[in-house]
Structure 1
Amino acid sequence: MLPSAAAVLEDGDLASEILLRLPPQPSSLPRASAVCKSLRSVASDPGFSRRFRIHHRRNRPLLGFFMGDGDELRFEPTLDPPNRVPQCRFQFPIDASDCSFELLGCRHGFLLMLRTFQGTVQLLVWDPFNGHEHPLAIPPVFSEKTFHGAVLRAAPGVGDTDHFQVVLERTDVQQGVVACVYSSETGEWGNLIATPVPSGGVIHPSKPAVLVGGSLYMLLMRLGGSSRIVEFDVGRQSLAVIPLPASLDSEHSRFYSVMRADGGGLGMVSLSASGGSAQLWKRKTSCEGVDSWMLARTFELDKLIIPDLKSKFFLQITGLAEENNVVLLSSGVGVFMVQLDSLQSKRLPLANLHHWHPFESVYAAGI
Structure 2
Amino acid sequence: MSGDDGSLTGGRRRRSPALSSPLDNDDLLSDILLRLPPSPSSLPRASLVCKRWRGLVSDRVFLRRFRARHRRGAPLLGFFTQVPRDVSFTPTLEPPDRLPRGRFSLELGGGRCRILGCRHGLVLILSRADPRLLVWDPVTGDRTRVAVPPEFGDGGSAVVQHGAVLRAAGDVLGGEDHPIPFLVTLVGCDEEFTRAFACVYSSETGVWGDLISTACLSMIPMHIPSTLVGSSLYWLLGRNPSGILEFDLDRQCLAVIGVPLNIGSYNHLRHWVVPAEGGGLSFLCLSGYSAQLWTRKTDCDGVTGWVLGRTIELDKILPLNMNPEEEFPPLIFGFTEEGNVSFLATNVGVFMVQLESAQFKKPFQLSILDVYHPFASVYTAGNSILNNADVTA
Q: TM-score range by the shorter chain?
A: 0.7 to 0.9
Aligned to 1:170: 188
Over 3 Å counting, the alpha-carbon distance change for 1:32 and 1:5 in structure 2 is: farther
Aligned to 1:186: 205
- Say which is worse superposed, 160-169 or 76-85, in terms of deviation: 160-169
- Say which is worse superposed, 339-348 or 70-79, in terms of deviation: 339-348
Aligned to 1:227: 242
TM-score, normalization by structure 1: 0.87
Which of these residues, 36, 50, 61, is aligned with residue 50 of structure 2?
36
Residues 149 and 168 of structure 1 are in contact (CA less than 8 Å); yes or no, is this contact kept in structure 2? Answer: yes
**Structure 1 position 360 matched with structure 2 position 386:** no
Structure with larger Rg = 2
Could you report, residue by residue, the CA deviation over 1:200-232 in whole angstroms, capped at 9, with x for unpaired residues? 111123111111111110001264xx5211111
Over 3 Å counting, the alpha-carbon distance change for 1:245 and 1:4 in structure 2 is: farther
Structure 1 position 134, deviation (Å):
1.4
Residues 160 and 187 of structure 2 are in contact (CA less than 8 Å); yes or no, is this contact kept in structure 1? Answer: no
**Structure 1 position 208 matched with structure 2 position 225:** yes
1:184 and 1:245 mapped to 2: Cα distance?
Answer: 37
1:11 and 1:215 mapped to 2: Cα distance?
Answer: 43
Residues 189 and 219 of structure 2 are in contact (CA less than 8 Å); yes or no, is this contact kept in structure 1? Answer: yes
Could you report, residue by residue, the CA deviation over 1:85-143 in whole angstroms, capped at 9, with x for unpaired residues? 12232233xx5456753111111111111236xx6332111121222221121222222
Give the letter for the 1:167 counterpart: T
Aligned to 2:386: none
Over 3 Å counting, the alpha-carbon distance change for 1:343 and 1:20 in structure 2 is: farther
Aligned to 2:39: 25
Aligned to 1:136: 146
1:110 and 1:325 mapped to 2: Cα distance?
Answer: 18
Give the letter for the 2:134 counterpart: L
1:66 and 1:78 mapped to 2: Cα distance?
Answer: 11
Residues 33 and 40 of structure 1 are in contact (CA less than 8 Å); yes or no, is this contact kept in structure 2? Answer: yes
Which of these residues, 109, 114, 119, is aligned with residue 102 of structure 1?
114
- Say which is worse superposed, 61-70 or 168-177, in terms of deviation: 168-177
1:283 and 1:97 mapped to 2: Cα distance?
Answer: 42
Aligned to 1:248: 263
Aligned residue pairs, count: 356
Aligned to 2:310: 297
TM-score, normalization by structure 2: 0.82
Residues 56 and 362 of structure 1 are in contact (CA less than 8 Å); yes or no, is this contact kept in structure 2? Answer: yes
Aligned to 1:270: 285
Which of these residues, 344, 352, 360, is aligned with residue 345 of structure 1?
360
Aligned to 1:64: 78
Could you report, residue by residue, the CA deviation over 1:272-327 in whole angstroms, capped at 9, with x for unpaired residues? x222x222222223344322222222222113222464953221112101222110
Give the letter for the 1:331 counterpart: T
Aligned to 2:276: 261
Q: Tell me, what secondary structure is at the counterpart of 2:66?
A: helix
Q: Tell me, what secondary structure is at the counterpart of 2:316?
A: coil
Residues 117 and 164 of structure 2 are in contact (CA less than 8 Å); yes or no, is this contact kept in structure 1? Answer: yes
Residues 77 and 99 of structure 2 are in contact (CA less than 8 Å); yes or no, is this contact kept in structure 1? Answer: yes
Q: Tell me, what secondary structure is at the counterpart of 1:75?
A: strand
1:142 and 1:26 mapped to 2: Cα distance?
Answer: 39
Unpaired runs of at least 5, structure 2: 1-14, 175-179, 384-393
Structure 1 position 364, deviation (Å):
2.8
Over 3 Å counting, the alpha-carbon distance change for 1:362 and 1:353 in structure 2 is: farther
What's the C-alpha RMSD, in Å, of the aligned pairs? 2.7
Give the letter for the 2:315 counterpart: D
- Say which is worse superposed, 302-311 or 289-298, in terms of deviation: 302-311
- Say which is worse superposed, 178-187 or 249-258, in terms of deviation: 249-258
Give the letter for the 1:262 counterpart: E
Give the letter for the 2:297 counterpart: K
Aligned to 1:195: 214
